[in-house]
Structure 1
Amino acid sequence: MPVPALRPPDTISATLARGRLGIPSVVFFVIAAAAPLTVVAGGATTGYAVTGVTGIPVAYLVVAAVLALFTVGYVAMSRHIVNAGAFYTYVTRGLGRPAGVAAAAVALLAYNAMQIGLYGGFGAVLAQFLHDRYGWAVTWWLCALTAWAAVTVLGVLRIDLNGTVLAVMLTAECAVVVVFDTVMVTHPAATVTVDTLAPTHVLAAGIGAALVTAITGFVGFEATVVFSEETKDPRRTVAHATYLAVTVTGLLYGLSAWAMSVATGPNRIVDAARTDGTDLIFHLVTPHLDASVVTIGRVLFITSLFAALLSFHHTVARYLFALGREHVIPAAFGRTSRHTGAPKIGSITQSGLALTALAGYAATDADPIVHLFFWITVTGGLGILILMTATSTAVLGYFTRRTGHHEGHWRATVAPLTATLTLAAILTATLREFDTLLGVDPHSPLRWLFPAAYAAAALLGAVWALTLRTTNPPVYAAIGLGADSHTLPLRNHPTRQPA
């Protein structure tokens, strides 16, 4: 039976809305996904409490340095490939089409986990705030559904309008974090000390778990490439936005975690974190600030979670768009709204999946913080770590085969190789200590069940790619080509890439 050629889609389905995002907008999107106030109030505190390690500030700075190394090769590759598929596209170009589709399956699972898990945190935190502030008894899932409705609407609107919403939220959020940090440092428990910033903490017991905790706080920075097709100058915007995102979040997290240790005293930070939980930062600044400022901080904690929800929603929608455009999944996912340029089918699909998950958690009366927010987002972070390790390896493969790229030995080889080895070491530590991150018994099947989901997703993706190679060669040949994929059957392959 003859193999049908790919039908050239109309322009609406081939491309996203171009030229709508500049460097500030992309930075707002990716830092919003990292959710600075959520990481500072929740992630850093949890890191102290769970690991018992006082070197959490160093862990954030070390991870920032590792991700900066990763960014060197990642950004170098972005100058050669502009595609909303990001990790999927890069792994395809560097390691081959089966590996690329496997990476896409892992990415969809990981980013959906991050996005859906955040609904648990948002719902629980908002419900608690409404109860404490106004005495309203509202269930967590009703609050989560309110956020879901807003994300569903914003997901199909113009991307630059979403950038404006995130810009306002993120600016206020970062301002509050800086104010809180200043208050904590200027009101130390005894004297201002840099004990928790000492490099010796890197060699301390438990630093592996601390690094794993820290790396989850950066998830989202890598999404600069996801928005590359919608930027005004992809090669310049992606590079600058990625470096800015890593630098800003790294410094903000590290200094904030240090400021908390100053306010409690280095020897008391772990006990304080275990006692106060996510309220620690608010308790530390309450005696020194007007109550209205602290309330604003609590509100921004909630909006921080919402901003992350919205940003991860966009990331998932664009991955689905990239796969649909190349006919790896149904072509309908490769269509965008004629009015807004948003990938509406991918956006609606992600919203439907999130609604189904929320309904399941509500029906089973599961704990929204432990079983949805904590377990699922930690698992999502694991998936992103897997993808970054694979992508760094793919950068090496891409530049090794490509001649005349003019990127230099540092950007094409040394930095990606160093990043690959370091990320692989952190990934090994993550898998080894995953029971600690979940808070379950070392012999619990859950410690392997969640990581195994990624192995299954990768296997299914690779098998599907190989199936396409046999049943639909034009589609298989177009994998990873992005907006050029629909013209492949009509011309020679524009770039040599591994099978």
Structure 2
Amino acid sequence: MVTEAPSFTRSLARPRLGATQIVSFVVAASGPLIAIAGGVSTTYAVTGIIGVPLSFVLLAPVLLLFTVGYAAMSRHITNAGAFYPYVANGISRGAGISVSFVALLAYNAIQISVYGLFGWSVANYIQEKTGTTSPWWLWAVAMLVIVGVLGALRVDINARVLGVLLLLECAVIVIIDVALLSNPAAPGGHELAPMNPSNLFVAGVGAVFAFSVAAFTGFEGAATYGEETRNPSRTIAMATYVAVGVTAVLYAVSALAMAVGTGPDQVVAQTQQQGPALWFGLSSQHLGTVFTDVVNILFLTSQFACLLSFHNAVARYFFALGREGVLPDMLGRTNRKTGAPVAGSLAQSAVALIVVLGFAFAGADPILQLFTWLGTTASTGVVWIMAMVSLSVLGFFRRRAGNETVWQRTVAPALAALLLVALLVLIIVNFDRLVGTGPDSVLRWLLPGLLVVAALAGYARSAVLRARKPETYAKVGGVR
């Protein structure tokens, strides 16, 4: 009797990805157009500080310090779970499982938050062009289905889609930046005022850094694709360094260009009045409506790229945790033909659908509530995880001999941990401003409190595994 082969396997696709494809995934996750048109304008408007461009310049070295230890550890650990195997091997398995639960919450939150932005953007664009109104959630759900289908395809196909969109996105950003920097609204030597430290280090500077670090979220996800990458010990590090460099330059220059094109003394008032529309208005003023229509389309595709990138990352987190027995076994299955973590992809889509429809039925605002609340919670969680990873680098190399230098194994990760903890404190202190509530609002504690609950749930799960399934617990964070 011939037995039909099952349609699923327990491993991801054979290594197909190179540095270029990994850069496409992680930079697309950061969403340059989203970060610039939406994030930078919001930072100016909410904080009232014009030194936003300098914040990106100062944050880049902090992220590069993190990358030093992260890259060193990536040469020893390859696992689709990315962060939690690092922490499991560097601190403890219990801490690793705890971090994995925080990561699942954070990356699901940021992916789902963009559905709110996408639905709102499409509904507004259609109304502007045709006068027809439509519910934002309809477009969010439609895109959710498309992303879910693509999540079941081969990972290199997804990388090609993201690569093309990312190149177009970066191209229009550079064109607009050149136009704005070449045509200052208030020439006379004040164009570089946003780069002056005295215009950044004022009351509210913590909120600027909190917003700015959120714009980088996604760069750290390269290790998620380690098992599907050619020569991961070299590729993951290279892709992460390139991602930090590219996004830091884009964000700093674009934030400066927005201030120069508007006038440094007017950029706060104008962003408060116009929001993201300011950037598109400047584009139309200097480059014409046809070009700006193209930019609007790319703004939508940027959101699609961000959604697809984070969807792939979350699906691999579910897969890794299912494969190791931390979550249900069925999540550790991949499609035999594509190697895609289909069960993880379906799980992410299901979570996203429940949350999007929940916000829709509650009549919540897709931007001020869905996008802002979940996005801010996610970036807080990512900073927390990065600090834990930096600490795990110290623990890992203290117990393991290797070719890494003292800078790689001790100095850089220690500095990164200190600076990331300081950033985390700044975010928590300014959380009410970030989500647009008063200092006495329950939300300013409830949303970051969800991350604490996730961490405690992870520790509880690790305790259960250690007591009831010691063999499974012993394999958590295993190198693949």
Category of TM-score, reference length = shorter chain: over 0.9
1:175 paired to 2:167: no
- Does the 8 A contact of 1:336 with 1:343 survive in 2? yes
1:75-90 → structure 2 map (5 Å cutoff): 75-90=71-86
Aligned residue among 17, 24, 31 for 1:21? 17
Aligned residue among 197, 200, 208 for 1:199? 197
1:234-383 → structure 2 map (5 Å cutoff): 234-383=232-381
- Does the 8 A contact of 1:325 with 1:482 survive in 2? no
Aligned residue among 178, 182, 196 for 1:186? 182
Deviation at 1:409, TM superposition (A): 0.3
Distance 1:443 1:374 in 2: 18
1:54-93 → structure 2 map (5 Å cutoff): 54-93=50-89
- Does the 8 A contact of 2:373 with 2:447 survive in 1? no
Render the CA deviation track for 1:374-393: whole Å, top value 9, x for unaligned: 11111111111110111111
Q: Give the secondary-structure state (helix, strand or coil) at the position aligned to 1:366.
A: coil
- Does the 8 A contact of 1:326 with 1:482 survive in 2? no
Task: State the superposition RMSD in angstroms.
Answer: 1.3
Q: Number of residue pairs matched?
A: 473
Deviation at 1:203, TM superposition (A): 2.9
Distance 2:154 2:378 in 1: 27
* Structure 1 unaligned spans of 5+: 1-9, 484-499
Render the CA deviation track for 1:66-118: whole Å, top value 9, x for unaligned: 10110000000000111111111111111101100000000000000001111
Deviation at 1:202, TM superposition (A): 4.8
Distance 1:171 1:257 in 2: 19
Distance 1:61 1:84 in 2: 31
1:480-491 → structure 2 map (5 Å cutoff): 480-483=477-480
- Does the 8 A contact of 2:318 with 2:331 survive in 1? yes
Q: Give the secondary-structure state (helix, strand or coil) at the position aligned to 2:276.
A: helix
Distance 1:70 1:419 in 2: 5
Deviation at 1:205, TM superposition (A): 2.2
Code of the residue aligned with 2:379 in structure 1: it is G
Q: Give the secondary-structure state (helix, strand or coil) at the position aligned to 1:301.
A: helix
CA shift in 2, pair 1:417/1:133, >3 Å: same
Code of the residue aligned with 2:308 in structure 1: it is L
Code of the residue aligned with 2:130 in structure 1: it is Y
Give the structure 1 partner of residue 386 of structure 2: 388
Q: Give the secondary-structure state (helix, strand or coil) at the position aligned to 1:188.
A: coil
TM-score by length of 1: 0.93
Distance 1:335 1:286 in 2: 48
Code of the residue aligned with 1:296 in structure 2: it is V
Code of the residue aligned with 1:312 in structure 2: it is F
- Does the 8 A contact of 2:50 with 2:200 survive in 1? no
Render the CA deviation track for 1:153-185: whole Å, top value 9, x for unaligned: 001011011111111111111101001101111
Give the structure 1 partner of residue 224 of structure 2: 226
Give the structure 2 partner of residue 6 of structure 1: none
Deviation at 1:194, TM superposition (A): 1.2
Aligned residue among 450, 453, 458 for 2:450? 453
Render the CA deviation track for 1:360-416: whole Å, top value 9, x for unaligned: 1121111111110111111111111110111111111111111x2110100000000
Deviation at 1:201, TM superposition (A): 4.1
Deviation at 1:134, TM superposition (A): 2.3
Q: Give the secondary-structure state (helix, strand or coil) at the position aligned to 1:405.
A: coil
CA shift in 2, pair 1:11/1:74, >3 Å: farther
Give the structure 2 partner of residue 100 of structure 1: 96
Distance 2:79 2:197 in 1: 39
Render the CA deviation track for 1:311-360: whole Å, top value 9, x for unaligned: 11111100011111111111111111001100000000110111111211
- Does the 8 A contact of 1:393 with 1:416 survive in 2? yes
Give the structure 2 partner of residue 42 of structure 1: 38
TM-score by length of 2: 0.97
Distance 1:422 1:361 in 2: 35
1:403-442 → structure 2 map (5 Å cutoff): 404-442=401-439
Distance 1:288 1:236 in 2: 42
- Does the 8 A contact of 1:201 with 1:207 survive in 2? no
Distance 1:454 1:264 in 2: 38
Deviation at 1:22, TM superposition (A): 0.8
* Structure 2 unaligned spans of 5+: 1-5
Distance 1:190 1:117 in 2: 36
Give the structure 2 partner of residue 4 of structure 1: none
Deviation at 1:11, TM superposition (A): 12
Q: Give the secondary-structure state (helix, strand or coil) at the position aligned to 1:217.
A: helix
Distance 1:13 1:239 in 2: 28
